[in-house]
Amino acid sequence: MVAEAVAGTFALMVDRLTPEEVGELPLFTGLSPDSLKVLAEMSEVVTVSAGNTLFEEGDLPGDIYVLLSGRITLSLRVPGRPETSFLSLHSGELVGWSSLLARSRVATGRVVQSSRLLRLRASDVLELCEANHDVGYAIMRQAFEEMADRLSATRLQLLDMFAKSGS
């Protein structure tokens, strides 16, 4: 493994997954062996220590990640309040999904437990999706099923917060 710095924000170790290992990740379920090979070649596994920030709310689109192990929290800036964590991500979950839509980051991603992540440049994934619409459909479907689950979880969390505050 090779140590490197990413965007000057954190040090990490780099490794690779096999196409078969990539195919075991929920985001890539059901893709062909050829597609999994391409994804394995365009990705790398990075290890990031606790306390580092993957991206900040409002940052330009960049890499997407699949969390292999560890824990990452997502947080928002709320005017007049301290930054608020609203979601804790675990193994198998997509991190940085807004880059798949070429949109700025909608939250801040912080590593709270040393994490291994599969890192892909969103632009590479989007090129693959554009070149092969079957792959694009499969990836986007999985990604947005996960987003729907997150919206539901966030809704329940908000209902709980409002119930506790009496609002």
Question: What is the C-alpha to C-alpha distance for residues 124 and 39, in angstroms, rounded to an integer?
Answer: 9
Residue 37: both structure tokens together: 């090979």
11 neighbors 4 (Cβ within 8 angstroms): yes
pLDDT tens digits, one per residue of 35-87: 999 999 999 999 999 999 999 999 999 999 999 999 999 998 888 888 888 88
Query: Which CATH number characterizes residue 82's domain?
Result: 2.60.120.10
User: What does the pLDDT read at residue 6?
Assistant: 47
Q: What are the residues whose beta carbons fall under 8 Å from the beta carbon of 132, sequence distance 6 or more?
A: 35
Helix (H, G, I), strand (E, B), or coil: what is residue 144?
Answer: helix
Q: What is the pLDDT of residue 1?
A: 31
pLDDT at residue 162 greater than cutoff 80: no
pLDDT more than 70, % of the chain: 90
What CA–CA distance (Å, rounded) separates 111 from 71? 6
- Of the candidate ranges 1-10, 19-28, 97-106, 139-148, the one whose mean pLDDT is the lowest: 1-10
- What does the alpha-carbon distance between residue 65 and residue 68 come to, in Å, rounded to a whole number? 9
Domain hosting 75: range is: 2-165
| Strand-strand pairing, 53-55 and 94-95 | unpaired
**84-99 pLDDT, tens digit each:** 888 899 999 999 998 9
Q: Is the pLDDT of residue 8 over 70?
A: no
Q: For the chain, what is the domain count? A: 1
